[in-house]
A = this chain, B = another copy of it.
Amino acid sequence: MRLLLIEDERELADALSGALSKHGIVTDHTTHLADAFELTRQNSYDAILLDRRLPDGEGLSFIPMLRRTGTDTPIIVLTARNEPLERVEGLDVGADDYLGKPFLVDELMARLRAVLRRPPSLTELQISVGRMAIDPLHLSVTVESIPLDLPRRELLVLVALAKRKDKTVLRSTLEAAVYNYEEEIQSNALDAHISRLRKRLLDAGAGIAIHNIRGVGYLLKEE
């Protein structure tokens, strides 16, 4: 396993590299964002550890840059800036985890494992379809910048479909997205939600269509 560590405090960086190597992890280290960007282009990392305060800028700005190149390498932010709001900020720009300094190496390892266990994140921060923008993290929806508020269940259906726009989403997947295990469902509730959602999207002029694939599921695409 190979990590990229972006951290300007030499001592911490060395200590961390040493600790990780005991777990059989190879670590590349750099102190500047510019170098980091170059390194990610030349190598393939299993994960990236990122400090926020860096000599040539705010570490977080690195995340959208990287994501824009289509890279979905997990990123864990390591920083002294550990206020709740700052954590939200970090996760919302696309970090996979956020760990405040000081931290135990054991906790870092555990979070690393957790992050690597996940399937490569399909979760974009912002999905746009038709005249519509959907933020799956905050569960908010806008049509041409005008917020559209939808009932909870319809919203969940929409997000589940939007995350895989232009691809079929199985019925069972949708049910799993909207209902948890306790909530039984013994009618066509899902169909009803789809129907009502369609009507609302039409009224709002969202410019998207939800197609049914008989016996399989549904598919969302621009109309």
Contacts and interface: CB of A to CB of B under 8 A. Distances in A.
Interface of A: 135, 138-140, 142, 145-147, 149-152, 155, 164, 166-170, 211, 213-217, 219, 221
Nearest to A155: B216
Contacts of A166: 140, 142, 145-147
A214 B151 contact: yes
B138 A168 contact: yes
A150 B149 CA distance: 27
Contacts of A219: 140, 147, 149
Contact of A214 (B145, B152, B167): B152
A138 B167 contact: yes
A151 B217 CA distance: 11
A147 B135 contact: no
Contacts of A147: 166-168, 219, 221
Max chain B CB contacts within 10 Å: which of A152, A213, A215? A213
Contacts of A213: 149-150, 152, 155
Nearest to A169: B138
Count of this chain's copies in the oligomeric assembly = 2
Nearest to A151: B214
Contact of A139 (B138, B140, B170): B170
A134 B193 CA distance: 28
A69 to B, nearest CB: 8
A139 B167 CA distance: 8
Given A140-B168, A146-B166, 16 more contacts: A135-B167, A138-B164, A138-B168, A138-B169, A139-B168, A139-B170, A140-B166, A140-B167, A147-B167, A147-B168, A147-B219, A147-B221, A149-B213, A150-B213, A151-B214, A152-B213
A49 to B, nearest CB: 25
Contacts of A221: 147
Nearest to A212: B149
A151 B211 contact: no
Contacts of A164: 138, 140
A181 to B, nearest CB: 10
